[in-house]
A and B are shown apart, each in its own frame.
Chain A
């Protein structure tokens, strides 16, 4: 049985606690890195992380990109959508194909 965690600043994530996801509050990069490592070694299959926070620890997140679990997924936080989530999808297209052919048209 795996659990799901949501990381980010307090205001962005406390709503998710109501539906049964595990909120993990982290405000700065050092704290976030430490918490993320804890979560990865724990039994979490999916970790949602706000785009604003993910922007600060993208190197740490990239380390887990090729692992089967956990899936680290960016979500927009309360401060708005930075577009990093879609940019990550775009990056994987570029990695696979060599150039972006999905997002150029839209």
Chain B
């Protein structure tokens, strides 16, 4: 819809035409960005889904191992065994840039050299089920970290895609049609002005000729 306060001038028309070119170019670029983001996002989200299923299954197995361990040991013995953890995990974070979205990447490091150094107790007073449980958690840990990385990436990309999609839609359905409408309005208005001044000129010419030659009087006398 044309704005009410549109000035039908040539300058305004040139300005709007430039604006339309920019808007169309921006629209094309953003559309390409959206398509590529979508492609990356879809493969990432499939990986995310697989990892999540794997991790959830792993944690369920860990939990059932812990239940077994708790059943065969007293609560105090279990608490004592896990009271002072031997291992600590640190994360180095970096960022990856996918289509201008900053995505964190995690690189984990354990405190001791040996990543399998996880048993914070002597084996004498604990059940073998506890060993199993702790081992199964240690096994699932790398996948859990990968899941964290992947899921965060998905969340951030989803937000970016949403933003880009809105921009594309705003350009496509609001900006571009509005500008085109304004351009049409102004050029029609200019044409109309042109025509009316043409008619005025013709009329003035008629009047001037009449003044000079008195055509009408001649017709009357004949």
Which of these, A4, A78, A93, contacts B45 with CB under 8 Å?
A93
Binary interface profile of A, 47-59, with partner B (CB < 8 Å = 1, else 0)? 0100000000000
By secondary structure, the B interface counts as helix
CB pair B82–A76 under 8 Å, yes or no, is no
Complex formed: what's the CA distance from A46 to B153 in Å? 13
CB pair A46–B63 under 8 Å, yes or no, is no
Across-interface contacts of B149 in A (CB, < 8 A): 71
Chain A residues touching B, range: 35 or more
CB pair A73–B66 under 8 Å, yes or no, is no
Please tell me the number of chain B residues within 8 Å of chain A, measured between CB atoms.
58
Q: B64 — nearest CB in chain A belongs to which residue?
A: A78
Which of these, B85, B154, B155, contacts A66 with CB under 8 Å?
B155
Complex formed: what's the CA distance from A103 to B45 in Å? 10
Complex formed: what's the CA distance from A102 to B52 in Å? 14
CB pair A2–B45 under 8 Å, yes or no, is no
Across-interface contacts of A78 in B (CB, < 8 A): 63, 66-67
Across-interface contacts of A85 in B (CB, < 8 A): 52, 56
Closest chain A CB from B143 CB (angstroms): 11
Across-interface contacts of B45 in A (CB, < 8 A): 89, 92-93, 102
**Cβ < 8 Å to B, chain A residues 26-62:** 45-46, 48
Across-interface contacts of A95 in B (CB, < 8 A): 158-159, 161-162
Judge whether A81 is part of the interface by a CB distance below 8 angstroms. Answer: yes
Closest chain B CB from A61 CB (angstroms): 11
Judge whether B28 is part of the interface by a CB distance below 8 angstroms. Answer: no
CB pair A76–B56 under 8 Å, yes or no, is yes
CB pair B63–A96 under 8 Å, yes or no, is no
Q: A75 — nearest CB in chain B belongs to which residue?
A: B59
**Cβ < 8 Å to B, chain A residues 57-106:** 65-66, 68-69, 71, 73, 75-78, 81, 85-86, 88-89, 92-93, 95-98, 102-103, 106
10 chain-A/chain-B pairs, Cβ below 8 angstroms: A17-B82, A18-B85, A18-B118, A18-B120, A19-B85, A19-B138, A68-B103, A75-B144, A85-B52, A98-B165
Task: Identify 13 new A-B residue pairs, CB closer than 8 A, beyond the known A3-B89, A85-B52, A89-B48.
Answer: A2-B91, A18-B137, A20-B85, A20-B87, A45-B104, A46-B148, A69-B104, A73-B152, A77-B63, A86-B56, A96-B158, A97-B161, A102-B46
